[in-house]
Amino acid sequence: MKSLEDHLSFYAAYHQDARNKATHFIGVPVIALSLFIPLAWPRVELGGASLTAAMGLLAVFAVYYLMLDALLGAAMLLALGALLWAGAQLASLGPPRGWMWFGLLFAGGWALQFFGHLFEGRRPALVDNLFQSVFVAPLFLCAEIFFTLGYKPRLRAAVQARAAQMRAAAAGKGLTAAR
């Protein structure tokens, strides 16, 4: 399993421009919300409780984040829990409206993020590693907030140093242009 520093450094290498980060602070949660809408429909009754596929996805993310860092993982559980609730509310409008909301939010969130990469001057991280990007994007944003509040300054410095090295290596290979 990669370390928190490994994950954050990889993602930070693609996200240094403040305007790009700003688009991601909106786009990433919007995409997560969109995914929770159709995943709220498949459900299993277990011991009198109704468990949805969205809850299962949240559990997978939460366990992984908690394994990387307890405080960030707990914060992510709260944030994703709020998005899970909002997704369930939109799903309760029924499939026609739910799919409409899914489409608008999903497409809008991705469009916003791709727009942000015009400022960055670097292609999105998902081009190089889709799986890692999907898992790390929400955690990266949470870590950015926590770093701003003074959480783990040595980790922040290490992430920034490794991200700078990765960016320099990519620039040397001609991989910085948004494609």
Task: Encode pLDDT of 152-171 as tens digits.
Answer: 999 999 999 999 999 899 88
Our measurement of the distance from residue 7's CA atom to the centroid of its chain's CA atoms, rounded to an integer in Å, reads 12
Rg over alpha carbons for the chain, rounded to the nearest Å, is 17
pLDDT at 82: 98
153 close to 2: Cβ distance less than 8 angstroms:
no
91, burial (CB in 10 Å: exposed 0-12, middle 13-18, buried 19+): buried
pLDDT in tens, 78-111: 999 999 999 999 999 999 999 999 999 999 999 9
pLDDT at 159: 97
On whether the pTM is more than 0.75, the answer is yes
Identify which has the larger pLDDT, 175 or 122: 122
